[in-house]
């Protein structure tokens, strides 16, 4: 039986594709409808066979079925190729608006043909995304029946007079082009973002923010995408959220050694991300110290669970603040910022508080106690949480003053984003002061 994690990845990637398709396909048709200019075309030589409408509509089953059937390791590449094709088709629809094909005057459409014709819209002829998507599905599944299905869908676009021959050929070319430009590391990142979003919706917002920040400089911001996906997956292995054949601490230690160049990265998906992460850091002239230290702090949580270890309040504060200091510094490096997290120490305190409160129930279920030893043993957790909430409100005010002095610097917006996120959490009494049993 497939794990819930992989099922969530499939669902999120399919939802992402569907959202992109609806936006780009519908917006192209809407924009084209605002003017009457169309490129005239000769009548199609193919006979009109409306009974093929059911085959044409079967693409609506073919795509989700492909998402359900392909192996997990291919999910990212498949989703990426669909997204690339969809985005690339958009300007072509706008720049090359062909005259729609007409049906015979005497034809009385049934509901199946009517729906097929409605689905195609009027403005999006070249290229045929029906052909593109069908071929991408067949290439992902790589078996005889998917190839036959894709061929039948391609034929149906011509026999139902939804597309010209040139549309189908352009659709074939677009599919080949999308496969050619599908990037393995970006596909792994896409899959990782979907996996994280399946765990909690906040990761969907984080993913959207990282991709939005990447748009002005896609290659330049690759470190942010790869770094988040790599370290989050490693952290999830240490937390027990993701399966691992070896002891999670051993996995993390091997990655620390690989980052330092002492051993090769493992020959798996996480190893590929680690190699890409190391390469991106090296391009910026960064040593691996930050990344290695982040993983060391992550390993501490695993050791605490395994040993049922409790930390006193100074130790816990140091661990939380150090974790966020290193993580924020990596983000600032990815943003090419000269700022460092220690320039906003009260923000680090606030982020540590937010992490404890937000993940309290989940941490408890994993056996991780992020409450000071003296508080936990005396059963004073509720009073401690309320006291810390009062303190974080003071920390946030001081963090505002710290960030004010950094305004205008590259990276200020990133720190400000984290500050506002904690502020919203601290101002919600239900979330900020949870009731502890």
pLDDT single digits (tens) 265-310: 999 999 999 999 999 999 988 889 999 999 999 999 999 999 999 9
The Cα–Cα gap between 178 and 265 comes to 29
- Tell me the percentage of the chain whose pLDDT exceeds 90: 70
Per-chain mean pLDDT for the chain: 91
Q: What is the pLDDT of residues 152-189, one digit of tens each?
A: 999 999 998 889 999 999 999 999 999 999 999 999 99
User: pLDDT, tens digit, for every residue of 206-228?
Assistant: 898 899 889 888 998 999 999 99
Residue 192 has pLDDT above 50, yes or no: yes
The pLDDT of residue 250 is above 80: yes
Confidence of residue 1 (pLDDT cuts 50, 70, 90): very low
User: pLDDT value at position 294?
Assistant: 95
C-alpha dihedral, 11 to 14 to 16 to 22, nearest 10°: -130
Contact 78, 136 (CB under 8 A): yes
* Lowest-pLDDT range of 239-243, 357-361, 433-437: 433-437
Check residues 243 and 340 and name the one with the higher pLDDT.
Answer: 340
pTM of the model: 0.90
Distance (Å, whole) CA 282 – CA 280: 5
| Residue 233 pLDDT level (bands cut at 50, 70, 90) | very high
Q: Does pLDDT of 2 surpass 50?
A: no
């Amino acid at each position: 039986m497939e794990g819930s994690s992989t099922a969530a990845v499939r669902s999120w990637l399919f939802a992402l594709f569907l959202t992109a398709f609806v936006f780009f396909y519908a917006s192209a048709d809407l924009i084209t409808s605002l003017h009457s200019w169309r490129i005239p075309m000769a009548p199609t030589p193919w006979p009109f066979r409306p009974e093929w409408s059911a085959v044409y509509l079967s693409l609506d089953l073919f795509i989700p079925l492909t998402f359900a059937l392909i192996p997990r390791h291919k999910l990212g590449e498949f989703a990426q190729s669909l997204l690339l094709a969809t985005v690339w088709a958009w300007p072509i629809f706008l720049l090359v608006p062909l005259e729609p094909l007409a049906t015979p005057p005497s034809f009385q459409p049934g509901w199946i043909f009517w729906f097929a014709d409605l689905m195609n819209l009027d403005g999006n002829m070249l290229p045929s995304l029906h052909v593109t998507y069908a071929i991408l599905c067949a290439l992902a599944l790589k078996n005889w029946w998917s190839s036959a299905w894709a061929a039948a869908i391609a034929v149906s676009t011509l026999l139902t007079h939804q597309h010209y021959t040139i549309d189908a050929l352009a659709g074939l070319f677009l599919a080949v082009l999308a496969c050619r430009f599908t990037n393995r590391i970006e596909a792994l990142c896409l899959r990782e973002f979907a996996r994280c979003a399946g765990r909690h919706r906040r990761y969907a917002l984080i993913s959207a923010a990282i991709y939005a920040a990447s748009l002005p400089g896609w290659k330049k911001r690759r470190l942010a995408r790869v770094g988040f996906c790599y370290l989050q997956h490693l952290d999830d292995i240490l937390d027990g959220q993701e399966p691992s054949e070896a002891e999670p601490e051993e996995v993390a230690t091997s990655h620390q050694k690989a980052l330092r160049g002492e051993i090769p990265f493992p020959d798996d998906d996480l190893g590929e991300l680690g190699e890409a992460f190391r390469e991106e850091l090296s391009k910026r002239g960064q040593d691996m110290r930050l990344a290695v230290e982040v993983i060391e702090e992550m390993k501490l949580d695993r050791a605490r669970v395994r040993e049922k270890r409790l930390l006193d309040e100074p130790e816990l504060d140091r661990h939380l603040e150090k974790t966020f200091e290193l993580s924020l510094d990596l983000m600032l490096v990815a943003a090419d910022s000269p700022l460092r997290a220690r320039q906003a120490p009260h923000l680090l305190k606030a982020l540590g508080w937010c992490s404890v409160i937000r993940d309290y129930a989940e941490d408890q279920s994993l056996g991780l106690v992020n409450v000071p030893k003296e508080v936990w043993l005396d059963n004073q957790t509720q009073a401690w949480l309320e006291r810390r909430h009062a303190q974080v409100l003071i920390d946030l005010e001081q963090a505002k003053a710290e960030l004010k002095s950094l305004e205008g610097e590259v990276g200020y917006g990133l720190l400000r984003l984290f500050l506002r996120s904690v502020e919203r959490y601290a101002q919600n009494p239900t979330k900020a002061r949870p009731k502890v049993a």
